[in-house]
Chain A
Amino acid sequence: EPEVTQTPSHQVTQMGQEVILRCVPISNHLYFYWYRQILGQKVEFLVSFYNNEISEKSEIFDDQFSVERPDGSNFTLKIRSTKLEDSAMYFCASIQGQGTDTQYFGPGTRLTVL
């Protein structure tokens, strides 16, 4: 069964460094999402992406964040200058398109900012 994959599974970085989290959505899916979950808290929406454009972003998704689909398979989340509070689990999700309802999640990337 097709699945969303994410790399790395765990990323440790120093405060102020840039990180890129990578996702490979399911191949025939058209809509992509990033969510964040700070340890012990609920899952929060960051951004949605369709047709090479951001569709919607939350107030969390400030100028330090960016997303890109550099080729036909990868979907990346970049954090330019990480802060301690960026430490969280980051989930990528994808959905096929119109008429479908279920977002499929990747296994997540645990980001630790020291």
Chain B
Amino acid sequence: AQTVTQSQPEMSVQEAETVTLSCTYDTSESDYYLFWYKQPPSRQMILVIRQEAYKQQNATENRFSVNFQKAAKSFSLKISDSQLGDAAMYFCAYRNTGANSKLTFGKGITLSVRP
């Protein structure tokens, strides 16, 4: 079974600075998807960024980028120019490539942004 580990329960960043959230996972599959979801206080799950394992290039979405290290099974999220609206819970998630495959989530990390 796949597992996702987020070992840091909380992080804090100064507004406009950069922060990196860590995630590791375990799988025996060679192809899969990885995701970061943001959950603000409203508890809505919002997709931040996704990465396909067969792509070596790291995904980027505006201020959000990932550092995907397949051999190390590491998938960290970098948030540049942090904004107050980035404060939320962030979940790392894994999914096999099958169409009806489920998401497996990490425990999440609470990010606070200091003004």
Contact = CB atoms under 8 A, between A and B. Distances in A.
The DSSP consensus for interface residues of chain A is: strand
Bin chain B's interface residue count: 20 to 34
B99 A95 contact: yes
Interface string B76-115: 0000000000000001010101011111111110000000
A98 B97 CA distance: 9
A8 B78 CA distance: 35
Bin chain A's interface residue count: 20 to 34
A75 interface: no
Given A101-B50, A101-B52, A101-B95, A107 B102 contact: no
Contacts of A18: none
Nearest to A41: B107
Interface stretch (B13-21, B22-30, B37-45, B64-72): B37-45
Interface of B: 33, 35, 37, 42-47, 50, 52, 91, 93, 95, 97, 99-108
23 contacts: A31-B99, A31-B100, A33-B102, A33-B103, A42-B105, A42-B107, A43-B45, A43-B91, A43-B93, A43-B103, A45-B102, A45-B104, A48-B101, A93-B45, A93-B103, A98-B99, A101-B52, A101-B95, A101-B97, A103-B103, A105-B44, A108-B45, A110-B43
